[in-house]
């Protein structure tokens, strides 16, 4: 990544922002050393750690709130709060420890012991949550087990930073001797002071220390009365500090004991240093792991605070939803404001986006936001967005800002061209190109042509490219070139102020005069500027305004259509639930009837068995008892079958009893094969298919059944002549159409005339009604609507139709009609 690009996009500012969330110098050092990675594996692993750190913080914060005042033991296992603030940077101590022969001071030993102790606590907490946070646990497992090391050093160093008496038996002995010697010296000096009290050698009887030796204060004018060694005087010179002759040897012994103490402390520290030097690599690894974990939790805290997501990588897509510039958001938070987010998608070969719109409208911020978030993703940092998916760019090349250089004799325009030329040479299909105000600072016509050529070169290279411009040539290029999308930063025509919203799909007007008006330029200057504008330019500006208004209207219509579609889907869902409930009730009723039928058959079977038993005695006197029993069993089977058939047909057809025939009614002719008849038990019409004696085989819908001839309530076809004679066979033709499989729920009449369609649909509705279909679909196509209108008129008066309505979009929309039948 070019250093200039990192500087232009203010990546260092993001690191400074995240630094606030680091808990220790170890985490800060890791954070400030971050750079966009060249290999995808490194940031992906860092993002996994950040994701788990964010989730761990979310869970542990809930635990901390739920266990306030209950102690750490009350918290659920696996999410104990972690604190990295106690860690210090041990780099200097590690350097000293790496030099053979050096001895650490007590504070340095304490620093390393605290590192080992706190790192062990972090390791223990994260390994306990390994099942939920595997990546954090794997990093924590880099910390060695320092339990025995800490146990070895336990109790040897006091909180004050001094070695405890128990650091070694020798040190304990020496310090006891020192205490005894101090007591002897103090006793001797007190005795000396009492003996000299009458001489008034001192203003007060006190014992003090000068140069590690115990002394007594003596008036300067009486120092000659005391035999001993003077070790100094007061600031006024009126008091001398004298070591009496009696205590000189005692003090010498104390000094000797203190030298022994110092030597023993030196020996102990040498042993401690050697012990720590043996674990130097493990301690260094622990510090490294703590730095990585502190960085992960810093990213997690930042993600929670700024509503960030963990970005993902996809070589074919650049998807950003509700993204915000992190530094701009931090600034607005201080002022109590909020950043306007924006979204964009570049995929399916559309890798170029040209943004136009008003000055101060946010075009440059949009470019910087995309570039900065891409850098953050490559560095393994969460990004402030609702969704973020990037290709893993090999290069992020930006031309943003003013490159004017007096030293190198470069104007603004030429400086931009030098930079763009370098970008053209290094761009690849895996690069992200950011071009701000392309073609500025020169003749508009030439700049527009040059801008088109530059963007098209990057498009041909396959690079993801985002450019901002005011030139009409680039706007037209974006609207007419495959693979290039157009966008604009919104502008409110009423308030003459930008909305800072990125709108994809159409170019925007620069609104320079409107912004000049809002900023207070004189009216006569603005009028003169409008008069100087070309007619073509004014037409383009009006076209863009009209395009914006039409897009807004289309958006309203789309939202209304979506609301209506949602309402229809809800109605369909409710209808399906009603149908399912009704079918469940019918099934339950059928089961109840079958149960009753079964009990009835059992009772009649028992009755027939008793009858058979009664006849058996009689049959024993007959010559053919077996034949008699067979006839009775056959009759029993026939009656059971008839009961079952009646129940099934009653449930399936919903038929009922027909009205009784009047006593004086004319004799009814016998039904013949081919007649259409209405059955009493079924309540529906059927066609007689065969006749055997007094039994008829009748086809009702898909069902064929045998019924006695007296079950026929009415003959609907085969008219008779006077006197009961049938018409000649050649005079009557009965045509029976076989219903195609699956056609009871749907019929297609596309391409037929209105009369043909009405005839077929009428028969279709009859068959569906006989088959108890509650809902059918009639496919007639859209076309000019002639078939739809003709069928609608028929449905409105049809006796079987309960209601009808256009099919939902998923079932054909305006090209089909849903018909609900009166079943």
Among 233-242, 386-395, 536-545, 551-560, the range of highest mean pLDDT: 386-395
What pLDDT is stored for residue 813 in this prediction? 85
The structure tokens 């290709």 sit at: 391
Q: What is the pTM of this model?
A: 0.61
Q: What is the pLDDT of residues 49-101, one digit of tens each?
A: 999 999 999 998 775 544 444 433 334 445 688 999 989 999 999 999 999 98
* Model confidence at 671: pLDDT above 60: yes
Q: Which of 455, 376, 383, 391 is nearest to 420 (CA)?
A: 455
- Tell me which of 111-125, 311-325, 796-810 is least confident: 796-810
Dist. CA 769–CA 623, nearest whole Å: 55
Percentage of the chain with pLDDT > 70?
A: 77
Residue pair 734/674 in contact by the 8 Å Cβ criterion: yes
The C-alpha atoms of residue 373 and residue 308 are separated, in whole angstroms, by: 11
Average pLDDT across the chain, whole number? 81
Mean pLDDT calculated for residue range 624-647: 54
pLDDT at 416: 82
- Report d(CA 94, CA 276) in Å as an integer: 10
Rounded Cα gap, residues 465 and 474, in angstroms: 13
Q: What is the pLDDT of residue 119?
A: 95
User: Residue 404 has what pLDDT?
Assistant: 43
pLDDT tens for 404-463 read: 443 343 556 777 888 899 999 999 999 999 999 887 767 778 888 898 999 999 999 999
The pairing of strands 484-492 and 497-504 is antiparallel
Q: How many CB atoms lie within 10 A of CB 138?
A: 16
> What is the reported pLDDT for 653?
47
State CA 293 to chain mean position distance. 23
Greater pLDDT, 795 or 207: 795
- Mark 284-299 as b/e (b = at least 16 C-beta within 10 Å): bebbebbbbbbbbbbb
Instruction: Provide the pLDDT for residue 29.
Output: 95
| pLDDT, mean of residues 502-507 | 85
Under the banding of pLDDT at 50, 70 and 90, the label for residue 103 is very high
- Do 276 and 283 meet the contact criterion of CB atoms below 8 Å apart? yes
State the CB neighbour count (10 A cutoff) for residue 277. 16
Percent of the chain past pLDDT 90, that is, above it, reads: 39
Lowest mean pLDDT among 83-97, 149-163, 312-326, 516-530: 516-530
Indicate the burial class of 662 (C-beta count within 10 angstroms; 0-12, 13-18, 19 or more). Answer: exposed
The mean pLDDT of 307-334, rounded to a whole number, is 94
Q: What is the pLDDT at residue 320? A: 95
d(CA 237, CA 217): 11
| Least confident span in 404-413, 701-710, 802-811 | 404-413
Q: 761 burial class (0-12, 13-18, 19+ CB within 10 angstroms)?
A: buried
Pick from 32, 151, 97, 87: nearest CA to 282: 97
Contacts of 7 (CB under 8 A, 6+ apart): none
pLDDT at 736 over 70: no
d(CA 169, CA 451): 85
Q: How far is CA 59 from the centre of its chain?
A: 17
Q: Assess contact for 706 and 737: CB atoms under 8 A.
A: no
Sign of CA dihedral 619, 620, 624, 627: positive
Work out whether the CA dihedral 660, 665, 667, 671 comes out positive or negative: negative
- The answer on pLDDT for 655 being more than 50 is no
Pairwise CA distance, residues 126 & 547, whole Å: 57
Q: What is residue 424's three-state secondary structure?
A: helix
**762: Cα separation from own chain's centroid:** 53
pLDDT attached to residue 739: 47
Written as one string, the DSSP assignment of 655-712 is: --PPPPPPTTPPPPPPP-TT-EEEETTT-SEEEEEEEETTEEEEEETTEEEEEEGGGE
pLDDT at 359 over 90: no
Asked if the model's pLDDT at residue 307 lies above 80, the reply is: yes
Residue 755: burial class (beta carbons within 10 Å; 0-12, 13-18, 19+): exposed
Residues facing 319 on adjacent strands = 345, 389
Characterize the bridge pairing of strands 228-233 and 213-219.
Answer: unpaired
Q: Which of 426, 364, 435 is nearest to 395 (CA)?
A: 426
Paired with 54 in beta bridges are: none
What does the pLDDT average to over 476-489? 90
Distance CA 569, CA 159 (A): 72
Beta strands in 347-468 (DSSP E): 352-356, 387-390, 395-399, 431-435, 464-468
Q: Work out whether strand 497-504 and strand 676-679 pair parallel, antiparallel, or are unpaired.
A: unpaired
What is residue 782's predicted lDDT score, i.e. its pLDDT?
Answer: 81
* Lowest mean pLDDT, pick from 200-204, 478-482, 819-823: 200-204
* DSSP, residue by residue, 356-368: E--TTSSHHHHHH
| Residue 497: per-residue pLDDT | 65
**pLDDT range class, residue 567, cuts 50, 70, 90:** confident
Query: What pLDDT is attached to residue 383?
Result: 97
Mean pLDDT of 475-499: 80
Strand order in the sheet with 484-492: 395-399, 431-435, 464-468, 352-356, 484-492, 497-504
Q: Quote the CA–CA distance of 693 and 232 in Å, as a whole number.
A: 150
CA 168 to chain centre: 59
* Least confident piece of the model among 399-403, 436-440, 750-754: 399-403
- Cα four-point dihedral sign 23, 64, 293, 13: negative
Residues 6+ apart with CB under 8 A from 332: 338, 339
Using DSSP bridges, classify how beta strands 208-210 and 213-219 pair: parallel, antiparallel or unpaired.
Answer: antiparallel
Supply 549's token pair. Answer: 């208004």
Q: Higher-confidence residue: 571 or 395?
A: 395
Answer whether residue 574 shows pLDDT above 90: no
Question: How much is the pLDDT for 111?
Answer: 94
Phi, psi of 432, rounded to the nearest 5 degrees:
-110, 125
Whether residue 621 is predicted with pLDDT greater than 60 in this model: the reply is no
Query: Among 411, 540, 393, which Cα is nearest to 479's?
Result: 540
pLDDT class for 518, splitting at 50, 70, 90?
Answer: low
Give the whole-angstrom CA distance, residue 435 versus residue 396: 11
Strands 464-468 and 395-399, by their bridges, are: unpaired
């Amino acid at each position: 990544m070019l250093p200039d690009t990192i500087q232009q996009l203010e990546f260092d500012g993001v690191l400074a922002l995240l630094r606030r969330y680091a808990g220790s110098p170890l985490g800060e050092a890791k954070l400030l050393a971050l750079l966009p990675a060249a290999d995808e594996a490194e940031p992906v692993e860092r993002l996994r750690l950040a994701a788990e750190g964010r989730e761990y913080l979310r869970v542990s914060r809930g635990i901390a709130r739920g266990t306030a005042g209950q102690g750490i033991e009350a918290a659920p296992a696996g999410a104990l709060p972690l604190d990295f603030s106690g860690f210090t940077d041990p780099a200097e101590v590690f350097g000293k420890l790496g030099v053979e022969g050096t001895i650490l001071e007590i504070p340095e030993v304490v620093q390393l012991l605290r590192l080992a102790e706190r790192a062990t606590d972090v390791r223990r907490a994260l390994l306990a949550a390994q099942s939920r946070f595997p990546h954090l646990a794997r990093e924590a497992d880099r910390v060695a087990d320092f339990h025995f090391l800490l146990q070895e050093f336990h109790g040897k160093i006091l909180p004050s930073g001094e070695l405890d008496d128990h650091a070694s038996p020798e040190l304990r002995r020496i310090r006891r001797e020192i205490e005894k010697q101090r007591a002897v010296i103090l006793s001797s000096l007190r005795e000396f002071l009492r003996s000299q009290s009458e001489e008034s050698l001192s203003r007060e009887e006190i014992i003090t220390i000068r140069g590690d030796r115990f002394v007594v204060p003596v008036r300067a004018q009486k120092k000659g009365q005391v035999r001993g060694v003077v070790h100094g005087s007061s600031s006024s010179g009126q008091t001398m500090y004298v070591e009496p002759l009696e205590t000189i040897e005692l003090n010498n012994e104390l000094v000797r004991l203190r030298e022994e103490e110092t030597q023993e402390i030196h020996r102990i520290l040498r042993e401690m240093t050697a012990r720590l030097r043996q674990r130097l690599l493990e301690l260094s690894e622990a510090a490294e792991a703590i730095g990585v974990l502190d960085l992960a939790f810093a990213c997690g805290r930042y993600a929670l605070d700024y509503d960030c997501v963990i970005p993902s990588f996809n070589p074919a897509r650049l998807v950003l939803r509700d993204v915000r510039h992190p530094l701009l958001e931090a600034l607005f938070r201080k002022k109590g404001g909020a950043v306007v987010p924006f979204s964009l998608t570049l995929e399916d070969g559309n890798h170029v986006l040209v943004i136009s719109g008003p000055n101060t409208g946010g075009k440059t911020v949009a470019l910087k936001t995309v570039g900065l978030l891409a850098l953050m993703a490559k560095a393994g940092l969460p990004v402030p967005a609702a969704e973020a998916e990037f290709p893993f760019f090999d290069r992020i090349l930006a031309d943003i800002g003013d490159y004017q250089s007096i030293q190198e004799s470069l104007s603004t325009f030429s400086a931009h061209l030098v930079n763009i030329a370098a970008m053209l040479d290094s761009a690849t299909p895996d690069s992200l190109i950011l071009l701000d105000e392309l073609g500025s600072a020169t003749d508009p016509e030439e700049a527009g042509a040059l801008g088109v050529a530059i963007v098209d070169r990057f498009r041909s290279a396959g690079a993801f490219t985002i450019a901002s411009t005011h030139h009409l040539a680039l706007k037209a290029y974006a609207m007419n070139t495959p693979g290039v999308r157009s966008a604009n930063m919104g502008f409110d025509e009423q308030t003459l102020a930008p909305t800072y919203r990125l709108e994809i799909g159409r170019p925007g007007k620069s609104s320079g005069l409107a912004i000049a008006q809002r900023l207070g330029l004189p009216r006569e200057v603005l009028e003169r500027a409008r008069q100087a504008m070309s007619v073509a330019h004014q037409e383009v500006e009006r076209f863009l305004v009209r395009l914006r208004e039409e897009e807004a209207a289309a958006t309203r219509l789309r939202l209304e259509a979506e609301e209506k579609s949602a309402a229809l889907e809800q109605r369909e869902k409710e209808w399906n639930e009603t149908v399912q409930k009704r079918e469940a009730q019918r099934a339950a009723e059928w089961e109840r009837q079958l149960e009753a039928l079964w009990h009835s058959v059992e009772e009649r079977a028992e009755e027939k068995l008793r009858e058979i038993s009664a006849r058996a005695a009689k049959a024993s006197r007959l010559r053919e008892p077996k034949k008699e029993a067979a006839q009775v069993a056959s009759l029993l089977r026939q009656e059971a079958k008839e009961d079952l058939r009646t129940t099934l047909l009653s449930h399936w057809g919903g038929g009922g009893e027909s009205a009784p025939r009047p006593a004086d009614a004319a004799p009814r002719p016998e039904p013949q094969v081919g007649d259409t008849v209405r059955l009493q038990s079924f309540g529906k019409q059927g066609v007689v298919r065969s006749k055997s004696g007094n039994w008829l085989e009748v086809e009702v819908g898909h069902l064929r059944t045998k019924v006695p001839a007296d079950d026929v309530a009415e003959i609907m076809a085969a008219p008779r002549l006077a006197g009961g004679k049938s018409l000649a066979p050649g005079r009557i033709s009965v045509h029976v159409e076989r219903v195609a499989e699956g056609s009871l729920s749907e019929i297609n009449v596309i391409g037929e005339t209105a009369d043909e369609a009405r005839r077929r649909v009428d028969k279709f509705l009859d068959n569906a009604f006989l088959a108890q279909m509650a809902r059918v679909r009639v496919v007639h196509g859209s076309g000019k609507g002639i078939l739809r209108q003709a069928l609608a008129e028929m449905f409105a008066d049809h006796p079987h139709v309960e209601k009808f309505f256009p099919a939902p979009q998923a079932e054909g929309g305006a090209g089909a009609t849903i018909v609900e039948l009166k079943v």
